[in-house]
Every structure is written in C-alpha cells, then in structure tokens.
C-alpha cells in the first residue's frame, strides 16, 4: 500500500511549521542552516523566522554578525508546542536524519574542503 503523508501547516504555513520542526531538532539555528536543512530558499526561511519572531514563538540573539534563532522560552505554551512539533517530526523521518548529519561547528580556518 502506498501512503502519502501530507505536511500539516498548523503554524500559518508549511515553511513556518517546518522551520519550527527543525528548531525542535536543532535547539537553535540560523537562516542559512535552516534553508539548507529544509531545502528552501534562504529568503523563505528568513521570512518564516521573522514572522515567528513577530508572533512571539521564537527569539533571536546575535552571534557575531549572525542572528541565531531558538524557541522563545517565555512563550506561554512552549512545552506543549515542542511536544506537538516532536510528534509532527515523526511523520518526516528524513528531516530528522538530515538534522543529525548537519555539521554544527565552523570549519577550522585554512582547512581544505
């Protein structure tokens, strides 16, 4: 039997929901990393993050010239939202695999690719 899994978009859009799912897996991230993981344009990931920040679901901090995003710990339902997103992520095991394979630290200066 061939099953088709439709992506749910309970947070206002598919990209917004997938960005939150990725943050659930990574704890914190920046727009380019999320775009690579989700295979969307950087502008799409950034737009989703800005909307989520405006809505109070995520917050950002500066790390050098990069803004790093994470869940807003003061959001009233952050625990429930994270549990729901973890459940949604179960429907997309490829996202979890790609998140596990991400290189999470910068490459040493001068190190060959």
Ordered domains of the chain (ranges, CATH): 14-95 (1.10.10.10)
Exposure string of 77-95, with b = 16+ CB inside 10 Å and e = fewer, is: eeeebeebbeebbeeeeeb
CA angle (56 as vertex; 52, 58 as ends), nearest 5:
60
Q: Encode pLDDT of 16-54 as tens digits.
A: 999 999 999 999 999 999 999 999 999 999 999 999 999
| The pLDDT value given to residue 2 | 44
Instruction: State the CB neighbour count (10 A cutoff) for residue 29.
Output: 23
Q: Is the pLDDT of residue 86 over 80?
A: yes
């Amino acid at each position: 039997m061939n099953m088709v899994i439709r992506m749910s978009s309970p947070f206002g859009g598919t990209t917004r929901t997938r960005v939150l799912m990725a943050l659930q897996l990574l704890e914190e991230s920046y727009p380019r990393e999320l775009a690579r993981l989700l295979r969307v344009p950087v502008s799409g990931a950034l737009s989703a993050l800005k909307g989520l920040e405006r809505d109070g679901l995520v917050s950002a901090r500066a790390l050098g010239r990069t803004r790093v995003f994470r869940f807003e710990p003061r959001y009233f339902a952050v625990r429930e939202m994270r549990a729901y997103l973890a459940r949604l992520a179960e429907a997309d095991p490829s996202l979890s695999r790609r998140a596990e394979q991400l290189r999470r630290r910068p490459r040493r200066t001068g190190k060959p690719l």
